[in-house]
């Protein structure tokens, strides 16, 4: 699928240089498909680790390791294809985002099934994520721009935030807010839902406005008044 990638996250430039350097030095037997599979398997592992994070802090460490492996596979599969000039635009776009959807769904379910997040907040977070994902895919198809980040946050920044949150939750799962003890991930989940909702509304308005300008309503020509029977009779007299 032909589209332009727009990644204006805080770490985007430095990450791009790092990924190109890694891709150029990877052995030839490491393929983009293998990296995509690594991204999916590692995210499923991260989801399982998070589900048991309340049992031992070691599961938080395991979660961070899986998250790092997911970054490696998910970020490098496309970079390797571009560096080796082996792009398959439609296949790569489809597979990459199917894996992202499945992996994120598994991760948020793992969070919701743990003892450190209320399930209803987890499922609301999943719904908000799918809403933003759907708008992003529609915008990519309609406008030809695939926006990877919003307000300086992209997938890599979110992974760092998730890793820090997992370590914090493993040692201190609650936070005091307005005199009440609340689950830290519940607070973080509500903030994330609000942020995703804002991203959805802003992106939808921006994309809708761009399409409206690109496809204005056609100018309607003034229809000629039909000639009356009396006029026709007079003209023929």
Each residue's pLDDT tens digit, 189-232: 999 999 999 999 999 999 999 999 988 888 776 655 555 554 54
Does residue 75 sit within a domain? yes
Whether the Cβ atoms of residue 78 and residue 96 lie closer than 8 Å to each other:
yes
Whether the Cβ atoms of residue 105 and residue 170 lie closer than 8 Å to each other:
no
For residue 222, count other CB atoms closer than 10 A to its CB: 5
**Cα→Cα distances 172→3, 57, 181, Å:** 43, 10, 11
Does residue 104 sit within a domain? yes
Each residue's pLDDT tens digit, 52-62: 998 888 999 99
Most distant CA pair in the chain, distance: 103
Specify the pLDDT at position 172: 87
Confidence of residue 237 (pLDDT cuts 50, 70, 90): very low
**Cα→Cα distances 110→94, 102, 197, Å:** 24, 12, 22
Specify the pLDDT at position 22: 94
Does residue 209 sit within a domain? yes
Highest mean pLDDT (candidates 69-83, 146-160, 211-225) = 69-83
Beta strands in the chain (DSSP E): 4-6, 145-147, 174-177, 180-183
**Residue 134: domain span:** 4-217
Give 159 or 224, the one with higher predicted confidence.
159
Does residue 183 sit within a domain? yes
Tokens 């933003």 locate to 132
Give 7 or 226, the one with higher predicted confidence.
7
Does residue 154 sit within a domain? yes
**DSSP string computed for 52-100:** TTTT-THHHHHHHHHHHHHHHHHHHHHHHHHHTT---HHHHHHHHHHHH
The CATH number given to whatever domain includes residue 139 is 1.20.120.1760
Phi/psi for 85 (5° steps) reads 55, 45
Of 74-88, 144-158, 213-227, least confident by mean pLDDT is 213-227
Question: What is the number of structural domains in the chain?
Answer: 1
- What average pLDDT does the segment 112-139 reach? 92
Does residue 169 sit within a domain? yes
Does residue 232 sit within a domain? no
Mean pLDDT estimate for the chain: 87
Does residue 233 sit within a domain? no
């Amino acid at each position: 699928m032909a589209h332009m990638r727009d990644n204006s996250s805080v770490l985007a430039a430095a990450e791009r240089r790092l990924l190109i350097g890694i891709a150029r030095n990877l052995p030839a037997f490491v393929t983009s498909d293998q990296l995509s599979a690594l991204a999916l398997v590692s995210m499923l592992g991260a989801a399982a680790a998070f589900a048991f994070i309340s049992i031992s802090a070691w599961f938080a460490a395991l979660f961070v390791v899986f998250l790092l492996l997911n970054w490696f596979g998910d970020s490098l599969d496309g970079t390797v294809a571009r560096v080796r000039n082996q792009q398959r635009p439609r296949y790569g776009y489809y597979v990459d985002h199917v894996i992202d959807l499945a992996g994120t769904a598994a991760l948020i379910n793992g969070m919701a099934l743990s003892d450190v997040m209320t399930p209803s907040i987890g499922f609301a977070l999943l719904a908000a994520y799918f809403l933003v994902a759907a708008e992003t895919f529609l915008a990519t198809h309609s406008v030809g721009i695939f926006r990877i980040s919003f307000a300086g946050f992209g997938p890599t920044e979110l992974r760092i935030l998730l890793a820090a949150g997992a370590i914090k939750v493993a040692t201190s799962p609650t936070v005091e807010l307005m005199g009440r003890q609340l689950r830290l991930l519940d607070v973080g989940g509500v903030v994330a839902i609000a942020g995703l909702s804002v991203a959805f509304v802003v992106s939808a308005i921006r994309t809708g406005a761009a399409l409206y300008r690109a496809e204005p309503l056609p100018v309607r020509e003034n229809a000629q008044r039909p000639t009356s029977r009396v006029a026709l009779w007079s003209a023929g007299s």
